[in-house]
């Protein structure tokens, strides 16, 4: 079995590399290997690799900068997925697993979003990711699996957990937003899900949601990061963490106030429950300590 991974240098790409099963022939492609917004290059790359599965975890994720770099954001998040899907359509047995985001929703709900809820993005980033989903499904509705996720973190890369660990080692007080609620996702957990879908023959076209189980605010997450990092010996100095409102921390892009994704559809497909977010945070801290 041959698998091609676009976005291999990102958080999920790195996690997929760490969790790959040895007897799988995997090609890891970063932007320097293939510009996925160039159809000619993507065709050449896929023809050379001849993958059975393509995993696209490449994305433009600078949410605030996207408000000013609209064209570039859409090129990576909408045009590139369409190109990848077109290339997949040339081989009917080829399957695409594409990673999307909770930002396709506006946060107006107060209960977890399911796959049947109507998207309504409030930011350029969210709108570009939604368009990418639509482009894929228009090209290969029976060959594509779209997985929406949220708040992804990994030991390598820029994410909330790594930022908190850095700031908590440098400062004695932090102000963190407490009126935006979502669910963290340990990249290794998501990567393992993807490999399970491939190796257990559970690939089924459609849109799915997957995060770690449970819901928290950014402030609550920051407090938990401090508690676990201290317990695992990653932090030693005391830090005061203050809850603030979104209005006290203005950003260019609007964030959904509630973007919890319900994962029951995927749980039924793979016949297992999601791990609780705090358990995965502990696994993450344990890995950092080693």
pLDDT classification of 172: cutoffs 50, 70, 90? very high
Taking the C-alpha atoms of residue 162 and residue 154, their distance in angstroms, rounded to an integer, is 8
Contacts with 232 (C-beta within 8 Å, 6 or more apart), sequence order: 282, 285, 286, 288, 289
Mean pLDDT along residues 155-162 = 95
Pairwise CA distance, residues 40 & 44, whole Å: 6
- pLDDT given for residue 164 in this prediction: 98
Q: What's the mean per-residue pLDDT of the chain?
A: 97
Catalytic residue ranges:
125
The mean per-residue pLDDT over the stretch 184-192 comes to 98
pLDDT at 290 over 90: no
Q: Does the structure show a pLDDT above 90 at 76? A: yes
pTM above threshold 0.85: yes
pLDDT value at residue 2: 97
Question: Residue 109 — pLDDT band, cuts 50, 70, 90?
Answer: very high
User: Can you tell me the mean pLDDT for 20-44?
Assistant: 94
22 — pLDDT class (breaks 50, 70, 90): confident
- pLDDT at position 23 is 83
Half-sphere exposure of 193 (CA within 13 A, CB side): 31
List the domain boundaries for the chain. Answer: 2-155+185-214+260-275
pLDDT tens digits, 224-283 = 999 999 999 999 999 999 999 999 999 999 999 999 999 999 999 999 999 999 999 999
Over range 12-28, report the average pLDDT: 94
Other C-beta atoms lying within 10 Å of the C-beta of residue 79: 19
* Mean pLDDT, rounded, for 64-88: 98
Residues 6+ positions from 95 with CB-CB distance below 8 Å: 52, 53, 54, 88, 143, 144, 145, 203
In degrees to the nearest 10, what's the CA dihedral of 225, 228, 233, 234?
-20
- State the pLDDT at residue 21: 84
Hey, what CATH topology would domain 2-155+185-214+260-275 get? Answer: Rossmann fold (3.40.50)
């Amino acid at each position: 079995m041959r698998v091609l991974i676009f976005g291999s240098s990102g958080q999920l790409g790195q996690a997929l590399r760490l969790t790959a099963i040895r007897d799988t022939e995997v090609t890891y492609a970063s932007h320097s290997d293939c510009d996925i917004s160039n159809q000619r290059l993507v065709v050449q790359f896929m023809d050379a690799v001849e993958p059975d599965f393509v995993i696209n975890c490449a994305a433009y994720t600078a949410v605030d900068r996207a408000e000013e770099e609209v064209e570039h954001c859409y090129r990576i998040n909408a045009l590139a997925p369409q190109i990848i899907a077109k290339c997949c359509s040339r081989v009917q047995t080829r399957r695409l697993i594409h990673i999307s985001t909770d930002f396709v929703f506006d946060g107006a709900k107060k209960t977890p979003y399911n796959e049947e809820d109507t998207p309504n993005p409030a930011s350029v980033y969210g709108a570009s990711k939604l368009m990418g989903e639509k482009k894929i499904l228009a090209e290969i509705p029976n060959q594509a699996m779209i997985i929406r996720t949220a708040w992804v973190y990994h030991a390598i890369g820029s994410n909330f957990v790594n930022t908190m660990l850095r700031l908590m080692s440098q400062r004695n007080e932090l102000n963190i937003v407490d009126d935006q609620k979502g669910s963290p996702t340990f990249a290794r957990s998501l990567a393992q899900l993807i490999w399970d879908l491939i190796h257990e023959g559970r690939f089924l076209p459609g849109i799915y949601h997957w995060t770690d189980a449970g819901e928290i605010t950014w402030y609550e997450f920051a407090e938990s990061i401090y508690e676990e990092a201290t317990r695992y010996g990653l932090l030693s100095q005391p830090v005061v963490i203050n809850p603030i409102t979104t209005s006290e921390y203005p950003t260019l892009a609007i964030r959904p106030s509630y973007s919890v994704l319900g994962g029951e559809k995927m749980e039924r497909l793979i016949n297992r429950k999601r791990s609780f977010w705090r358990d995965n945070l502990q696994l993450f801290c344990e890995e950092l300590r080693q």
